[in-house]
Amino acid sequence: MLPVTKSTTTHHFRVLRESGVIRQVYRGTAKMNGLRRDDQDDLFPGLLDSVLSAAARQAGHVGGAAVN
């Protein structure tokens, strides 16, 4: 669950969908969101890999010290 109101969540997902960042698919009554990775990689080569790599490096650090 996201810590924001349903209307805020709806707005953010609409903006992401309309800008081509995600796709939404209905499965029954649920709306599934997925990253349009191929489209993003075509438009911004290497960006997602760089962001994910930086996030992984940061997750390995706590209080400035590496976690082994």
Question: 67 in a domain, yes or no?
Answer: no
**Are 36 and 23 a contacting pair, CB within 8 Å?**
yes
Summarize pLDDT for 9-66 with one digit per residue, the tens. Answer: 999 999 999 999 999 999 999 999 999 999 999 999 999 999 999 999 998 875 555 5
What's the number of domains the chain is made of? Answer: 1
pLDDT digits (tens, 9 = 90+) for 7-25: 999 999 999 999 999 999 9
The predicted pLDDT at position 60 comes to 87
Residue 31 covered by a domain: yes
Domain presence at residue 1: no
Q: Tell me, yes or no, if the pTM score tops 0.75.
A: no
* Residues 8, 16 contacting (CB under 8 angstroms): no
What values do phi and psi take at 17, rounded to 5?
-65, -50
